[in-house]
Amino acid sequence: MVISRICVYCGSSPGDRSEFAEAARSLGTLIAEEGLTLVYGGGAVGLMGVVADAALAAGGHVVGVIPRHLFRREIAHPGLGELVEVGSMHERKQRMFELSDAFVALPGGLGTLEELTEMATWGQLGIHDKPIATLDVLGYWRPFHALLRHSADSGFMRPAQLRLFLDVERVEDLLPALSAYCAPYVEKWLDLDET
């Protein structure tokens, strides 16, 4: 799979551990050094700002996508190569999806979780077959993956759907994992013979 644009979902706050920012910095640097484009939420604060600043400092191209009503609240990044203003959060997610070949989640809160799970839901529905990964800094995403396994064990997900997500622990392992990704084929519940 050829990947040239990576969407990074992450917190608009820095979190409580310096390792979160270190991972964001390493990821932004890696994306730029590999000649890839970073697509992200457009903010200059928190991990969002860290990943963008690192990519820019390494000479990378960065595209931010931000809703007009969050322009001031998220303090839109002034130094981006491209800042796309949209009318709503729905438009933001759609535009980020359109601009990206793969999706990576650093630690973050509800917005990050929502973006991550929406991309997985779209993958499950066959809307796309783009890679989706969590960058598991200090085990941050371990409870999330445990919840997914619990959902599958409880009959609410097919086990194959667990393969919608790559779970990567180290930044340096991310690009090979994304390139090797093969979207799982998952039969929909309604496609199954009820007999």
The domains of the chain are located at: 5-179
Provide the whole-model pTM: 0.92
Distances (CA, A) of 128 to 102, 123, 132: 10, 5, 11
pLDDT at 195: 41
Cα–Cα distance, 11 to 50 (Å, whole number): 10
The third-level CATH classification (topology) of the domain covering 5-179 is Rossmann fold (3.40.50)
Token digits of residue 20: 């979160």
Local mean pLDDT, 10-residue blocks, the chain (195 residues): 94 95 98 98 94 97 89 75 91 96 97 95 92 97 97 92 94 96 73 48
Report helix, strand or coil for 99. helix
pLDDT at 84: 93
Count the alpha carbons within 13 Å of 80 in the hemisphere toward its beta carbon. 26
Cα–Cα distance, 87 to 71 (Å, whole number): 11
